[in-house]
Structure 1
Amino acid sequence: MKITALELSKPQLMRAATYASVGVAVLLIAIKFYAWMMTDSVSLLSTLVDSVLDAGASMVNLIAIHYALQPADSEHRFGHGKAEPLAGLMQSGFIFASALFLIVETVRRLLDPSTVENSDMGIAVMVISIVLTISLVLFQKYVVRVTRSVAVSADSLHYTTDILVNMGVIVALVVSAYTDWLWFDPVVAGLIALYILHSVRKIAIDAIQLLMDREFDEPEREKIFEIVLSNPKVMGMHDLRTRSSGPHQFIQLHLVLHADMKLRDCHKIADEVEKALLREFEDAEILIHEDPHDIEEELPDFAKEEAHQPEG
């Protein structure tokens, strides 16, 4: 029986994305290494180095996602999701190191320029690399859309930059083949290195924000307020706190209910609110605290500023 991507669970999709990225990276290393040996192109060397580091980063991802998907246990009661942003941070280190190596190699080749051999073969290899990488990135973007995986998202980002890198290498090989501009090949490699440094910034910042338990984006937080306050028995809410940990989301809030309600009724309303939130945030772990409406709580300043009451 044939299984399509739509039939795979989120954990299976995340694992499939890591296996695909490692497989593509290893294949690209093999064909780029052969092409570099035949051409001696520094821009082709740049993309070879990038693929080697891609393979290392993808292996880190594979291990991190395997760990992040493990269920919560007695020592990690919020799960193991932080392994994902840790992997993203390690990826940024891999990519930053590759950019520094390319800058050094660019300077060396500018000081001692040399011709590029067998350009046609190098161009063919780059075209194959682009086709493989585009296929991988399309699959990764689908997985990110379904799972919201931070590690797969970081992986997808640097493979997306690889597409542009490979296009730049094709341009460098064509120019080197038909002109005597020996400086063009290392200049392209240098521009690629600068682009890699630019792209690594987003990967590192996203990973750090998740490790620091950054709140959901504002549209998602407003959606939570909208869902909660749509229940006619809810008199207000405050102290909304949200965070993500790998594939897991956590939402906690204080629900303001009428002071004369029975505990059983309060619990029933909280359950209704939780179910409504789970329809929008299906993988979230939700914690709701019920407050009587006639008691004023001491709240942090940020909680006071965004306390909500139902309209009307």
Structure 2
Amino acid sequence: MDTSPAGPGPAFRGGEAEGSLAPVERRLRLSMMSGVLALAVLVLAIKAVAWWLTGSRGLFSDAIESVANVVTGGFAVFTAWWAGRPPDASHPYGHGRLEEFSAGFEGLVLFLAGIGIVREALPHLVDPAPLVRLEDGIGLALVAGALNGVVGTALVLRGRRLGAPVLTGEGVHLLSDTLTTAGVVVGLVLVRATGMPWIDTLVALLVGAAILASGVRLLAAAGRRLLDRQEAPLIGRLAAALERRRRPERIEIHLLRARRTGAVVMVDFHLTLPRYWSLERVHEEQHELATELIEELGEPAEILVHPDPCTPALCARCAVEPCPVRAAPATVRETWDPSRLVGHRAPDEPDACLMAQREASRRVSEARAGSRAARK
């Protein structure tokens, strides 16, 4: 019997064999983003007409946001097409990371639009122009807001279900547009009731500030994902799934890591198994656990399991019976909570594989630095 530990297991992928989204889902994403772009063009036309009829600075700021919607909507259509492509030789992890750039691009466009609106509206706060045909402008704004509200809500719900930041970002953007349109309408109603046109300019400044803040939030969220910041909710879901699928033979899990690449969740962790198992049995256990974890997540994922052999130090935490190599009775059962799974096997027992890789990297780095210094 082969008792040597296995190397890192293959990445197990949900969805198609290529690890990408199913063709139906890819087409759905693309059609949704194309619909968003068409909606953005229609809403922009409605708001532009409303601004042209009334001369309202508030409606002008709302129309500028719709210009941003058209620009980012066009990029989002390209993103939905490109990010859904299967992995290839040049992009073995797939193309989903482009979705993070798309969300960041949208945030940048909103940020710049907000600054432009504030800059344009400030002079009119002191010398506001009279407004005309307010009833027509209010009616058109309400139609535009209703369209954005319905589509934005649908996109947010769909994006969260698919784990697609490009869809969620577009949905949040449209809902933000709906709220700002509502604010503009309230401002126009107040102008009509009071005869004070400066209220409209004040609303335009508030709209610009809101758009700017929305852009900052989207930029920050995209930055966190691009920097692979650990998502606490995702780690919590993974820990709960691993706890539910726990077996005595799955002695211990450590160094759990996860990130998203578009709609695909990338997960890797170290799994401690009995050291007397054969390579074939270790591989079967890796495959089974990875498949179970994808089913628990309920979304496309790639799971990389690194098997580690058990050591005598783990006997107290191991419930495998009968065990031909047990050195001590089982006395402890730890809960697989997130804080436990993301760390090393034990506080005083850093992972040997990881430490060996880091030590090798350190030596290589020192050798390269020495070589550069010698050439100088």
CA distance in 1, matches of 2:66, 2:77: 16
Say whether the 8 Å CA contact 2:191–2:200 is kept in structure 1.
yes
Say whether the 8 Å CA contact 1:235–1:258 is kept in structure 2.
yes
Q: Which residue of 2 aligns with 1:283?
A: 300
Equivalent residue letter for 1:102: I
Q: Which residue of 2 aligns with 1:129?
A: 144
- 1:225 equivalent in alignment to 2:211: no
- 1:45 equivalent in alignment to 2:82: no
- 1:205 equivalent in alignment to 2:220: yes
- 1:293 equivalent in alignment to 2:310: yes
| Per-residue Cα deviation, 1:165-221 (whole angstroms, up to 9, x for no partner) | 111111121122232212101000001111112222221111111111222x32432
CA distance in 2, matches of 1:248, 1:305: 20
After the TM superposition, which parts of structure 1 deviate over 4 Å for at least 4 consecutive aligned residues? 302-305
Say whether the 8 Å CA contact 2:54–2:133 is kept in structure 1.
yes
After TM superposition, the score normalised by the length of structure 2 is 0.75
| Per-residue Cα deviation, 1:83-129 (whole angstroms, up to 9, x for no partner) | 10101111111101110111012112113211111000000011101
Asked which structure has the greater CA Rg, the reply is: 2
CA distance in 2, matches of 1:19, 1:172: 32
What SS class does the counterpart of residue 220 from structure 2 fall into?
Answer: helix
- 2:252 alignment partner, one of 224, 231, 236: 236
What SS class does the counterpart of residue 85 from structure 2 fall into?
Answer: coil
Say whether the 8 Å CA contact 2:152–2:173 is kept in structure 1.
no
Q: Which residue of 2 aligns with 1:5?
A: none
**Gap change, CA 1:233 and 1:56, over 3 Å in 2:** same
- 1:92 equivalent in alignment to 2:107: yes
Say whether the 8 Å CA contact 1:225–1:308 is kept in structure 2.
no
Equivalent residue letter for 1:294: T
CA distance in 2, matches of 1:219, 1:107: 42
What SS class does the counterpart of residue 302 from structure 2 fall into?
Answer: strand
Equivalent residue letter for 1:101: G
Q: Which residue of 2 aligns with 1:299?
A: none
| Per-residue Cα deviation, 1:244-275 (whole angstroms, up to 9, x for no partner) | 11111101111101111111111111112111
- How high is the sequence identity, in percent, across the aligned residues? 26
Deviation at 1:303, TM superposition (A): 8.5
Equivalent residue letter for 2:54: T
- 2:77 alignment partner, one of 57, 62, 75: 62
**Gap change, CA 1:295 and 1:218, over 3 Å in 2:** farther
Equivalent residue letter for 2:232: E
Q: Unaligned 5+ residue runs, structure 2?
A: 1-22, 314-338, 347-376
CA distance in 1, matches of 2:162, 2:75: 19
RMSD over aligned Cα atoms: 2.1
By relative contact order (CA 8 Å, sep 6+), the higher-ranking structure is 2
What SS class does the counterpart of residue 131 from structure 1 fall into?
Answer: helix
- 1:258 equivalent in alignment to 2:258: no
CA distance in 1, matches of 2:108, 2:126: 28
Equivalent residue letter for 2:147: L
CA distance in 2, matches of 1:257, 1:225: 18
CA distance in 2, matches of 1:267, 1:172: 65
CA distance in 1, matches of 2:61, 2:91: 41
Q: Which residue of 1 aligns with 2:343?
A: 306
After TM superposition, the score normalised by the length of structure 1 is 0.89
- 1:270 equivalent in alignment to 2:286: yes
Deviation at 1:239, TM superposition (A): 1.2
Q: Which residue of 1 aligns with 2:354?
A: none
